[in-house]
Amino acid sequence: MPTLSFEWALLALGICVAVVASSHALLNKRDPRAAWGWIIVCWLFPLGGSLLYFLFGINRLKAHAQRMRPPSSSAATPVVTAPTRPHRDPDVPPSLGELTRTADALTHRPLLAGNTLDILHNGEQAYPAMLASIDLARHSVALASYIFDPDRSGHAFAEALARAQARGVEVRVLLDGYADMLVFWRGGALLRRHGLPLARFHAPALLPPSLHLNLRNHRKLLIVDGVHAFTGGMNISDRHLADDPGNRHPQTDVHFALSGPVVGQLLESFLEDWRYVSGEAWAPGTGAAKANGASICRVIDDGPNERFDHLAQVLFAAICAANHSVEIMTPYFLPSRELAAALEAAALRGVEVRVLLPAATNHRMVRYAMLHALPYLIDVGVQVYRRPQPFAHGKLFIIDGQYAQIGSANFDPRSLRLNFELNVEVYDPAFCGRLAAHFDSVRA
């Protein structure tokens, strides 16, 4: 009789646990197929299946990121519905009006006119321009990099930042903690030896335990005096010196110099990251940003916190808005099911969709996954080009020669779901034409 009671109690416990687990999956899983898969597992194996769900099925990443990064004032703004009138800026093409309204509702940031953007190829062009800007700084320098290698380029930046600080410029440097750990903390140590204020984003630690391997800050920013800025895909490393014959692992890349009102949005993003990591509410000295260019820009920062999926949603809206062409240059291409469907639909309706990838990546498993995903896109007319060595690390996204995104994000789940990324959207046919010309030259 006691054995029978124990069996009934165990059955009742299994049913209760299965009800809780399956209900949680039904209410919280965004993918219905994943939800039903877990529900079936929970009911076929009430105790074991439910335990597996609680260990591996619950997405703790977003909740964990939200606890670590309290919502900013911009994100706390009440949700607004997209306006029904045309976008307020008449210079935005009417065909992209729905796209602008999507980004309006997601970012709560305005589009800013009057910006100037310059394209910088590889470290040979980007690093001298960045170092010269640091040497001309009068008030403040903010630098964020995923990787800061203690090599020749790293030493040049550390020395330039130290010179700026010595003449009274406020300097702050933010590195990703995990990426810095991979070079045995030597990048951060180099900066510390020069007496520079440094913070590491989610640095791994034993006490208290901290191993946030998936919550990486992948943003690349240099902001000088709140007036001049640089962003794109380039870290601080000799690897980006593609023309250096002594470079054993060269990478081609593209970076951008920006000036104008959008620099204020870039600085806002850096200050939020700096305040979160260091606890300091830094108020840097800035000059006056002048509106003297033709580009209309807006910053889209994205991460597994309150801005979850913002960048992916804007990319989706942009692909859906394309009438003539979609051009993507990225080192890692593993689009989500939704983005892949948008690309397929664009190709099927006659849009020329072209994807430019490196022939070989620096992550073998990613390369295999990419090769598996490509045939489904090629079958519906997506054109895929694979670029021979050296490894191509550049990132571009261009729609109809009128709209572009530049920045740090790759076209893969790590960038669009697990990392903190930053892109700048640009409405400017002349600038987009220059990007498209670069895309065509590489494709040729």
Q: What is the DSSP string of 4-26?
A: HHHHHHHHHHHHHHHHHHHHHHH
Q: pLDDT tens track of the chain, all 444 residues?
A: 456 677 777 778 778 888 888 788 777 776 677 777 778 887 888 878 778 777 666 665 555 555 555 544 444 333 333 333 344 554 788 889 999 999 999 999 999 999 999 999 999 999 999 999 999 999 999 999 999 999 999 999 999 999 999 999 999 999 998 888 877 788 999 999 999 999 999 877 665 656 666 778 999 999 999 999 999 999 999 999 998 888 888 999 999 999 999 999 999 999 999 998 999 999 998 888 888 899 999 999 988 776 678 999 999 999 999 999 999 999 999 999 899 999 999 999 999 999 999 987 767 777 777 788 899 899 999 999 999 888 889 999 999 999 999 999 999 888 888 889 999 999 999 999 999 999 999 998
Classify residue 123 as exposed, middle or buried by CB count within 10 Å of its CB (0-12, 13-18, 19+).
Answer: buried
DSSP class per residue in 71-108:
PPTTTTSPP-PPPSSPPS-TTS-GGGHHHHHHHHHHH-
H or E, element range at 370 = helix 364-378
Beta bridge partners of 297: 112, 426
Question: What secondary structure letter does DSSP report for 185?
Answer: T
**What is the C-alpha separation between 314 and 320, in angstroms, rounded?**
10
341's tokens: 């469907």
Query: 3-class SS at 401?
Result: coil
CA–CA dist 281, 275 (Å, integer): 5
Can you tell me which residue has the tokens 């995990």?
A: 178
The pTM for the full model equals: 0.85
